[in-house]
Amino acid sequence: MNCAECKEQLVLHIEQLLDDAQERQLAEHLESCRSCQAELRELEILQGRLVRNGEAARGDLEDQVMNRIIREQNVRLKSAAQASAGLRLRRFLMRSPMTRVAAAAVVAVACVLAFSMWRDTTSVTLAAVVAKVEQIQAYLYRESATTHDQSQGDRTLEATVLTSNEYGVRSEQTTVNAADGRQTRLLSYLLPRKKSIVILNLTEKQYGRRELDDATLANMKTDNRDPREMIKRFLACEYSELGTEVIDGVTAQGFATTDPAYLGNTAENLSARLWVDVETWLPVRYELEMDIREGVRISVVQEGYQWSIPVVAGDFEPDIPADFTTDQMDGTPMPSYSDQGVIDALRIAADFTGRYPETLGHDALQQLVKQMTEALNTSDRPAVQQFREELKSAGSREAAMQVSQGRFMKLMTLTMFPLMLAGQGAEPVYHGYVVTPSDAELPLMRWKVSDGQYRVIFGDLHAETVTAEVLAELEAALPQ
């Protein structure tokens, strides 16, 4: 089954008019096709809205459809007794199994068409936007962001991002610290084929290459900066329509959400708006505001989209000037945003402090780094003593710094991986406030990997995939 055939059957599927074989074929296609999944979600939303508008309206619509069938048949029959013939024909139609199916299909299609007519004639459906942008191979956009931080001061960022499905992502950005006006210019290349990211600090004239594992590379595809991902997230949460506005000379339809589920309940006071060209059905502007933690609010605007632009491999090949030097992190792997990455980070925390962080997040990470720094000076734990020896034998201050940063960088997974899981709707839950390294059979962290299946990291840091029933038993055993 291809997409065209699938979309022809979606309405019949919603109305439960497909036979078992057709349902199996449809399910197989939907399992692997995001575009058709999005189309189905949109149709289900339409149906839900129609139901909420009242069963009476639905009955009226059925009557209108049936009456139209009757009128057309009566014209063909040229019956003199139009009313009585119409009544007999209607009874015949509704008694015939085949014609009942056909009539119900017409009603279902009419419901969708009727809802479309209730909206503006230039109305845009997000499912269609998703289907369109997923066909685009390369695009460019501008991004501006402001971070309002009550303790650290404000920062602004201006970036130009070029994305290619084949070659990767190139981003040129300038960050300005409002307190002192200091600028930092970075040019970064995310290179999937080489499983690496290259970052040039144009201000400091330094560069570094970092290796990426498969899990980190895959999770980076759900980055909040990817316009395609943020459109899909609208479909997965409650959103409203804003009408149309002229943006940069283009008539655009707006969509908005304040649903915390938009970013997996990882931000407070969230507000997101998307504006889509009513002619091309492609995004023209995106706005996001949210509190990422207490005292820190971020505002982001994406605009200047250029869709389906030509690119070549050379656009994504880092050109490192001869006078640039390597930075301290050059050659070190990026933190692994995976279950193994979380296990490694939690093991470091337990080795240094004897326990797991009570929570995962920015503030908890800062507290953990502080505790580990204190442990380096005072603790006689074996892991701490071994780390001291590694630093002493590094050979130079720069080499020691690289060893130290490589170890501490792994801790970033404790913040980033749960955020990525939440953004993907995987519902991560962490029990570090009650689970200790000695609790081998208690669930320390878990998240959803599929319907009825969960990945669990236990107190002794082994991982298993379990059913929802097993997970319920495990979590029932947690200390209260």
Spatial distance between the Cα atoms of 251 and 122, rounded to a whole number of angstroms: 9
pLDDT at 178: 81
Residue 97 makes CB contacts below 8 A (sequence gap 6+) with none
**Model pTM?**
0.65
User: What was the pLDDT predicted at 313?
Assistant: 94
pLDDT at 83: 38
pLDDT of 77: 42
Give the count of beta carbons closer than 10 Å to the beta carbon of residue 434. Answer: 14
Q: Sketch the domain layout of the chain as residue ranges.
A: 3-121, 132-326, 339-476
The whole-number pLDDT of residue 366 equals 85
- pLDDT confidence of residue 384: 87
Q: What pLDDT is stored for residue 124 in this prediction?
A: 64
pLDDT at 54 (0 to 100):
43
CB 423 within 8 A of CB 348: no
Structure tokens, 378: 């005072």
Distance CA 149, CA 245 (A): 32
**Burial (CB count within 10 angstroms: exposed 0-12, middle 13-18, buried 19+), residue 18:** middle
Token pair of 28 as six digits: 């197989």
pLDDT value of position 221: 58
Cα separation of 315 and 267, whole Å?
A: 35
* Among candidate residues 422, 145, 424, 157, the one with its CA nearest the CA of residue 267: 422
Residues in the chain: 480
Fold of 132-326: outer membrane lipoprotein receptor (LolB), chain A (2.50.20)
Unique residue bearing structure tokens 């301290």? 328
Beta strand residue intervals within 212-267, DSSP E: 240-247, 250-257
Report the C-alpha gap between 80 and 73 in whole angstroms. 13
User: CA 95, CA 77: separation in Å to the nearest integer?
Assistant: 20
- For the record, the structure tokens of 136 come out as 């685009």
Residue 119 makes CB contacts below 8 A (sequence gap 6+) with 241
pLDDT in single tens digits along all 480 residues of the chain:
776 577 667 766 775 767 777 888 888 888 777 667 766 776 666 555 444 444 444 444 444 444 444 444 444 444 333 433 343 333 333 444 433 344 344 444 434 433 333 334 344 688 888 888 888 999 999 999 999 988 888 899 999 999 998 999 999 999 998 888 889 999 999 999 998 999 999 999 999 998 888 888 877 755 546 778 888 888 888 999 988 999 989 999 999 999 988 887 777 889 999 999 999 999 999 999 998 888 889 999 999 999 999 999 999 999 999 999 988 777 777 888 889 999 999 999 999 999 999 998 778 888 888 888 888 888 889 988 888 888 888 777 777 777 787 788 888 888 888 888 887 788 899 999 999 999 999 999 999 998 889 999 999 999 999 999 999 999 999 988
Round to whole Å and give the CA distance between 215 and 392: 33
The terminus-to-terminus CA distance of the chain in angstroms comes to 51
Q: What's the rounded Cα separation, in Å, for the pair 474 and 468? A: 10
Quickly tell me which residue has 């009550």 as its tokens: 150
